Structure 1
Amino acid sequence: MILFIAKIIIAVVALLHFYFLWLEMFAWTTKAKKVFRNFPEDLFEPTKTLAANQGLYNGFLAAGLVWSLIIQDPQWQIYVALFFLGCVAVAGIYGALTASKKIFTVQALPALLGIALLLAHQML
């Protein structure tokens, strides 16, 4: 049961990062203005390339998490998931410290929950 819940968390984190990819790569000058209300509106266009780069990295995180869900070997599935959740958690913690505390709740906390569930499953 713990592993099942962990996989749901992994899927949610992956979906969030696919959303971040879309938002930063394809909707930076439109929808992102509504999401990042504290960001100066006149900087969206000049930072479009930087946001797209950031979105691409979020896509890699999402792809790694999806990959972890389809790996056949149960042990490697957990190792890969832990690696990518760890990357997401570190990115979320860094973002919370440097950009917005909200990033911890949206990005790091779900990843840390997934890590905790996977480690709890390993201990059983």
Structure 2
Amino acid sequence: MSLVARLLVLLIALEHVGILVIEMFFWNTPFGQRSFNLTPEFAAQSAVLAANQGLYNGFLAAGLFWSLIAPKTMRHALKLFFLGCVLVAGLYGGLTSKTSILFVQALPAAIALAAVYLARDPD
């Protein structure tokens, strides 16, 4: 179970790197607009806000990567903390912005959080 938990944490971290890249670098491109179902006008108006959101997603990814390589005594707590942050952000986004965020961000974070909690060993 510990290996599964670590792989899920890695996948969530990679997902947030992907979100960072889209929000910070591709927001105003057709790919970014398709990814978030945006009009070109809205994308242009919200680009600075999206870049800020992308930076926050990068911090979540950095914390999750850190949780995989941190000293053994810290790994479990870091995984729980950063996955909890992703879960809360996903729930908030899903309830206030776009329902699909519940399935793209919150649900995977909840599954990874459960796997990490059930593994119970600090790796």
- Post-superposition CA distance 1:14-36 (Å, at most 9, x none): 00000000000000000211112
Aligned to 1:63: 62
Aligned to 1:36: 36
* Structure 1 unmatched ranges of 5 or more: none
My pick for the range that moved more, 108-117 or 49-58, is 108-117
Q: Are 1:115 and 2:113 an aligned pair?
A: yes
After superposition, the CA RMSD in angstroms is: 1.2
Aligned to 1:85: 83
One-letter amino acid matched to 1:18: V
Q: Distance in 2 between matches of 1:104 and 1:80?
A: 22
Aligned to 2:20: 21
> TM-score scaled to structure 2, two decimals?
0.93
Aligned residue pairs, count? 120
One-letter amino acid matched to 1:114: A
Q: Distance in 2 between matches of 1:32 and 1:49?
A: 14
One-letter amino acid matched to 1:78: H
Residue aligned with 1:46, SS: helix
Cα deviation for residue 41 of structure 1 reads 2.8
Q: Distance in 2 between matches of 1:18 and 1:113?
A: 19
Q: Distance in 2 between matches of 1:61 and 1:27?
A: 19
One-letter amino acid matched to 1:112: A
Q: Are 1:106 and 2:73 an aligned pair?
A: no
- Post-superposition CA distance 1:42-71 (Å, at most 9, x none): 111111100000000000000000000001
Residue aligned with 2:45, SS: coil
